Homo-oligomer: A and B are copies of this chain.
Amino acid sequence: MAAEFDPSEHPHRRLNPLTGDYILVSPHRTRRPWQGQTESAQPPSKIQYDPACYLCPGNARAGGKRNPPFTDTLTFENDFAAVLPGPSPAAPPAPHPLLSTEPVEGGCDVIIFHPKHDLTLARLGQEEIVKVIEEWVGIYLRRGRQPGIRYVQIFENKGSIMGCSNPHPHGQVWSLSTIPTLPATELSSLTRYATDPSSPAMDGAPRGPGGKPCLLCDYVHFEVGVAEAEGRVVVKNEHWVALVPWWATWPFEIMLLPYHRHISSIARLAPEEKASFASILGAVTRRYDNLFSCSFAYSMGIHQRPIPPVIDNTADDDENDIAHLHLHFTPPLLRSATVRKFLVGFELMAEAQRDLTPEQAATRLRACSEVHYLDIMEAEEAKQAGSN
């Protein structure tokens, strides 16, 4: 028995206060040899236009429609949407209360981030990423004004290891007549924290609507106050911070959120907050690519205010304003471009588990450059060519 508890040595569990789920941390196990299968790394795409890509300008999509030429972003309705516009017929009464059916309506959009086939968020400039953010805001407001829509889920799924076969930079937006399970669970946790008089509100932290404490305002206020070398912050700027959350499930999971004020949705971002959002999106994705010198796979999702959206910049006393805008990045890679983490076995049946601690992951990501490795390679190649 060790005399003192060491979170980088002793098995323990941490609670995710947004979901109520625990994560089992086994830091002593980072020394075990790797026996699992390896993935083949997807090489970075090197062509700016692929005639076979259904997302490149001018090309035909699976549904038969053709992309127009475009210079910034392009949004179109998914040809194989998971939900369809209403009205849908009412569901029959359940044969037993344990087997109830709830119809879902909505629509699914695809947003192409840039015309060039070989770029990703990590290789776009800040101005180009601002255009992606403006497009997200536009879809959020447009879909949010459609009758019956309750939630607009913006997300990106990147990398063949995540089942996304097309490297052309793009994301998706699913708009639904229901609030999906995970954002609904998080919203309940935020509501409980805001309304429970015993919530441990932090001195000096921003507050949510009505001056109530906000779980994420408090959490992130704590995190930016921790000494960098001991903490979980990867990078921060004027308005935003990216950190490996205390309760991270995925090895290099990141939560990205504004920390200076309580902001409920992307529709409420001031122009300077959008600029710094674009800047930190670039910084995070470049660090990711540099971690294992590959086009880093991940799923990313934006959690924010359910519909209806509110666009003025003041916090209203609305229950939906309890939402605190944040992004989750869940990348599967574990220790190289070809070794992934599997969420299987004990994790599927019992509880999420990790070996590397969130603090160790943050240290690794802090050590990464914000200059993209391909840019460094290209600069070196140019230098070599010049000296020959």
Interface, chain A (partner B; CB < 8 A):
1-5, 7, 10-15, 17, 20-22, 24, 26, 28-29, 32-33, 35-37, 62, 80-84, 86-92, 95-105, 151, 153, 155-157, 160, 162-166, 172, 174, 176, 178, 180-183, 200, 202, 215, 218-219, 222, 226, 246, 299-301, 303, 328, 330, 340, 342-346, 348-353, 355
Known: A36-B163, A162-B345, A172-B346. A353 touches B246 (CB 8 A): no
A98 touches B26 (CB 8 A): no
| A176 CA / B12 CA spacing, docked (Å) | 11
A101 touches B24 (CB 8 A): no
Chain B residues with Cβ below 8 Å from A12 are 91, 101-104
The one of B33, B100, B153 that contacts A350, using a Cβ cutoff of 8 Å: B153
Closest to A34 in B: B165
Chain B residues with Cβ below 8 Å from A22 are 102, 178, 180-181
Chain B residues with Cβ below 8 Å from A345 are 155-157, 162-164, 172, 299, 301
The one of B98, B155, B342 that contacts A163, using a Cβ cutoff of 8 Å: B342
Q: Is the interface of A mostly helix, strand, loop or mixed?
A: loop
Given contacts A11-B82, A32-B62, could you give 17 more A-B pairs where the C-beta distance is less than 8 Å?
A: A5-B91, A5-B101, A11-B84, A12-B101, A15-B102, A22-B180, A26-B82, A26-B83, A33-B62, A36-B163, A172-B346, A180-B350, A181-B352, A299-B345, A299-B348, A299-B349, A301-B345
**Chain A to chain B contacts (Cβ below 8 Å), 15 pairs:** A5-B90, A7-B101, A11-B104, A13-B101, A35-B62, A82-B346, A95-B226, A96-B200, A96-B219, A162-B345, A174-B346, A299-B344, A299-B348, A301-B346, A303-B349
Chain B residues with Cβ below 8 Å from A14 are 99-102
Closest to A182 in B: B350
